[in-house]
């Protein structure tokens, strides 16, 4: 009999509302990035492009805050309740990477 292997990658089931919110945010960001590309193609003045890049960075930071908040409230809290304290170490590493 073949031994069943579990995937080494974790997954997360999201509510329909959370999924739609995250995808909508990413779609807006994607549109902003396409707009910046057009600005470069159309030789728009550098500072105008930089301001739009700053807006994309802010949107990505906002996306990260929402995703991190959801992660802590669900994945991290559930793992701690289940006695999987190593999730705290994983969270610390993730926060360190986000703060670079």
- The tens digit of pLDDT for each residue in 1-24 reads 444 444 456 888 899 999 999 999
DSSP character at residue 4: P
- The tens digit of pLDDT for each residue in 47-75 reads 999 999 999 999 999 999 999 999 999 99
DSSP letter string, 36-87: HHHHHHTT--HHHHHHHHHHHHHHHHHHHHHHHHHHIIIIIHHHHHTT-THH
Contact 58, 41 (CB under 8 A): no
Using alpha carbons, select from 63, 61, 56 the residue that is nearest to residue 39. 56
Q: What is the reported pLDDT for 3?
A: 44
Quick one: CA dihedral 27, 32, 35, 37, positive or negative?
Answer: negative
pTM above 0.85, yes or no: no
């Amino acid at each position: 009999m073949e031994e069943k292997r579990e995937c080494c990658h974790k997954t997360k089931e999201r509510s329909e509302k959370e999924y739609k919110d995250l995808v909508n945010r990413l779609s807006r960001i994607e549109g902003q990035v396409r707009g910046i590309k057009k600005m470069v193609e159309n030789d728009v003045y550098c500072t105008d492009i930089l301001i739009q890049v700053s807006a994309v960075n802010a949107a990505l930071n906002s996306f990260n805050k929402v995703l991190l908040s959801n992660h802590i409230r669900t994945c991290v809290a559930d793992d701690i309740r289940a006695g999987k304290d190593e999730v705290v170490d994983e969270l610390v590493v993730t926060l360190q990477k986000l703060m670079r």
